[in-house]
Amino acid sequence: MSFTKTSSITQRIYFLTSSIVFGLIAFVIIITSYRTGKIRQLKYERQLYIVSSILGSRLNQSYDNILREKGALNKPVKEQVRVLNTVLQPIVHDVLKDYPSLGAGFYSIKLDHNLAIEPNFSSDKLISIPHSQPFFVVYETGKPILTKVSSSVSWGTPILNYTSPVFDKNGIIIGHTWVNVNLHDMYVEIITNGIEILIVGLFIMGGILLVLRRLFTQLSKEVSNFAFEVVSEKPNLDLQLLPELHPVYSKIKEYVNEKQSILDSMTDCFFAINENWQISFVNSAAESIFGRSRNELLGKKLTEVFEVNQIAMENYQHVMIQKETVHFEVISENLGNKWLEISAYPVQHGLTCYFRDITSRKVGEKEIARLDRLNLVGQMAAGIGHEIRNPMTTVRGYLQLLEEKPEYSSQKQIFELMISELDRANSIISEFLSLARTKQTKLELQNLNDVLFSLYPLLEADTFNQNKQIEYIPGDIPNLLLNKKEITQMVLNLVRNGLEAMKDRGRLKIRTFLKGNQVVFTVEDEGSGIPKDDLTKVGTPFFTTKEHGTGLGLATCFKIAETHKAKIDIDTGPQGTKFIISFSVPTETRGLDQSVV
């Protein structure tokens, strides 16, 4: 069995343990089989000795005495052999009834013939035996001998033979008895017994190896889980087979929990990605941004969690491939068009990423840029507004004087047009100066509904003149700190913009209502909406889509909202545009019954 470098420690231990167990059981099987074989052989040798002793005890007189009793002492050899067989054969047969696997017989050295033989007796087996057989040594030693014989008269196969000398009453050897066993049968029995032991041993070994397999599988699972939990830093493991690792695991859990706590305390979002683009770590802030729990995110590919912005994906790939840190900002449509500031850093097996929601900062930067533009316009207006107005006032005065003279009566319409254009130019300058106003606006506690009620007849007249409709829905609202003149200007600008955006019979809706601690004023038209590209420019000085517009109306509205600490939101679409102005209710009026409808 060879081990590769990728083999786990539990696999190596399992194979080593299995090999040792296999070797031990194989050794036990071999030793047991050998000893069992020896025991079997000893059993047969003991049986040979017992049967030989019995045969010797049953022969209580010499061969000559038997022949003398039978009157065959002087008869031919064959007749003497036959007579002795009639006496000795029954003895052999009777003794071997209890030992059916053995063979036995008597032999006479004087007659040089077998006198009795079992098993498979027949008279033609009462023959002479060559004295060269090894067991004939008993005639020299006078002692029994155990030998292996290559062939036997009774079996016709190799045998294990026990030969014992037969003595007469004078101590003279007159022959011998033999008892033998068929070696083939004995070996078959020994081998069969060995195979039985081997089968039992194999079953035992299989059971032990199966138990070891299950044990090491569980051990491997725990070690793998332990390694995975350590790598993935999710300390939630119950070690049953590895209690020795508890101190190490407890220390790791303490470290992981401490690191998790530190990262969770960050307001910035943090996550880590491995080389397979799977999320391997995420903190609480990132959970909130992604809108999913840590368990739902870990192990998932980044592209499975949400559709990654193309710019972000290119930067992540750069970090993965080039191993260089990147910093970038991107709008995430998947996270509700939020602006994200992202920093990605390469690590050994992936990357780590910090990001934060900078939408508020971006909105603030946009607002600051807009205010900077307003301030620039204000500075321009403050510098040239009065210088232009003074000569315009003089020109207007002289035009009025000339208009009254009889000689110019035919040119009256021309003078009226010139005066109207001067008044229009003066109005533009007034808007400039309103943007340029730097002194604090004087605010008074009053109700927005009162301002709208006073303006409504004028708004209604403008609407009817344009063949359009207007609807005013006042709500129960508390008093606000307002500058009536500026609010009037803002309302007129928003309403007139809405009327101009609609076709004939279009309906303009004005509403006021209380939402939390804010009074909300809305102007909603049924026009075609503001294009997406133009939406970001709304409120910018001089930006207009009207043929004769100045681009200062909405800029003035945003300036007025700023002075009132109000917020303007725009909701636009193909069905129309809604301007939403939210005023904060002064603290001193909250909870007081000052509502006006």
Same structural domain for residues 160 and 301? no
Of the listed ranges 232-236, 270-274, 452-456, 495-499, the least confidently predicted one is 232-236
Instruction: Judge whether residue 432 has pLDDT over 70.
Output: no
The whole-number pLDDT of residue 481 equals: 92
The whole-number pLDDT of residue 521 equals: 95
According to DSSP, residue 546 is labeled S
Tell me, yes or no, whether 421 lies in a domain. yes
Of the listed ranges 2-6, 10-14, 538-542, the least confidently predicted one is 2-6
Q: Rounded distance, CA 285 to CA 401, Å?
A: 74
Query: Looking at 423-559, which runs of residues are DSSP E strands?
Result: 444-446, 469-473, 480-482, 507-515, 518-524
Instruction: Judge whether residue 242 has pLDDT over 70.
Output: no
Contact in structure between 535 and 519 (CB atoms under 8 Å): no
Tell me, yes or no, whether 135 lies in a domain. yes
Residues facing 191 on adjacent strands: none
Tell me, yes or no, whether 267 lies in a domain. no
Residue 468 sits in a domain whose CATH number is 3.30.565.10
Look at 229 and 235; give whichever has higher pLDDT. Answer: 229
Tell me, yes or no, whether 236 lies in a domain. no
What DSSP assignment string belongs to 325-373? -EEEEEEETTTTSEEEEEEEEEETTEEEEEEEE-HHHHHHHHHHHHHHH
Q: Whole-number mean pLDDT of the chain?
A: 80
Of the listed ranges 118-122, 147-151, 219-223, 316-320, the least confidently predicted one is 219-223
pLDDT mean over 340-362 = 83
Residues facing 343 on adjacent strands: 327, 354
The domain boundary, picked from 411, 436, 461, lies at: 436
Same structural domain for residues 82 and 150? yes
Residues facing 118 on adjacent strands: 104
pLDDT mean over 265-270 = 75
The whole-number pLDDT of residue 4 equals: 44
Same structural domain for residues 406 and 485? no
Instruction: Judge whether residue 192 has pLDDT over 50.
Output: yes
**For residue range 411-423, what is the model confidence (pLDDT) as tens digits?**
878 877 788 777 7
Instruction: Judge whether residue 135 has pLDDT over 50.
Output: yes
Tell me, yes or no, whether 453 lies in a domain. yes
Look at 386 and 105; give whichever has higher pLDDT. Answer: 105
Angle at 327 between CA 322 and CA 331, to 5 degrees: 120
Same structural domain for residues 47 and 170? yes
Look at 354 and 512; give whichever has higher pLDDT. Answer: 512
Q: Rounded distance, CA 395 to CA 418, Å?
A: 10
Closest CA to 510 of 528, 495, 532, 530: 495
Q: Rounded distance, CA 471 to CA 468, Å?
A: 11
- The first and second tokens of residue 367, run together, are 């607002």
For strands 269-274 and 567-573, give the pairing.
unpaired
Tell me, yes or no, whether 334 lies in a domain. yes
Residue 344 sits in a domain whose CATH number is 3.30.450.20
Look at 100 and 198; give whichever has higher pLDDT. Answer: 100
Same structural domain for residues 291 and 311? yes
Same structural domain for residues 377 and 468? no
Same structural domain for residues 116 and 162? yes
Q: What share of the chain is helix, strand, coil (3-state, %, to 5)?
A: 55, 20, 25
Contact in structure between 551 and 542 (CB atoms under 8 Å): yes
Contact in structure between 389 and 426 (CB atoms under 8 Å): yes
Tell me, yes or no, whether 498 lies in a domain. yes
The domain boundary, picked from 171, 188, 205, lies at: 188
Same structural domain for residues 283 and 382? no
The whole-number pLDDT of residue 467 equals: 92
Output the CA–CA distances (angstroms, integers) from residue 390 to 341, 386, 402, 419, in the order listed. 52, 6, 19, 15
Same structural domain for residues 431 and 459? no
What DSSP assignment string belongs to 17-67? HHHHHHHHHHHHHHHHHHHHHHHHHHHHHHHHHHHHHHHHHH--S-HHHHH
Look at 241 and 354; give whichever has higher pLDDT. Answer: 354
In a 10 Å sphere around its CB, with 0-12 CB exposed, 13-18 middle and 19+ buried, how is residue 100 labelled? Answer: exposed
Q: Is the peptide bond before 346 cis (omega within 30 degrees of 0)?
A: no
pLDDT mean over 474-484 = 92
The whole-number pLDDT of residue 297 equals: 81
pLDDT mean over 309-318 = 83
Same structural domain for residues 315 and 382? no
| 203-211 contact pairs (CB < 8 A, 24+) | 204/25, 205/21, 205/22, 205/25, 205/26, 208/21, 208/25, 209/18, 209/21, 209/22
Residues facing 273 on adjacent strands: 279, 351
Same structural domain for residues 287 and 415? no
Of the listed ranges 104-118, 534-548, 554-568, the least confidently predicted one is 534-548
Of the listed ranges 125-134, 475-484, 585-594, the least confidently predicted one is 585-594
The whole-number pLDDT of residue 252 equals: 67
Angle at 106 between CA 105 and CA 107, to 5 degrees: 130
Tell me, yes or no, whether 178 lies in a domain. yes
Domains: count for the chain:
4
The whole-number pLDDT of residue 352 equals: 86
Same structural domain for residues 174 and 30? yes
Instruction: Judge whether residue 313 has pLDDT over 90.
Output: no
- Write out the residue range of the structural domain in which residue 543 sits: 444-589
> For 392, how many CA atoms within 13 A lie in the half-sphere containing its CB?
19
For strands 469-473 and 507-515, give the pairing.
parallel
The whole-number pLDDT of residue 520 equals: 95
Residues of the chain with pLDDT > 70: what percent? 81
What single-letter amino acid sits at 29?
I
Question: What's the full length of the chain, in residues?
Answer: 597
The domain boundary, picked from 157, 188, 219, lies at: 188
Instruction: Judge whether residue 321 has pLDDT over 80.
Output: yes
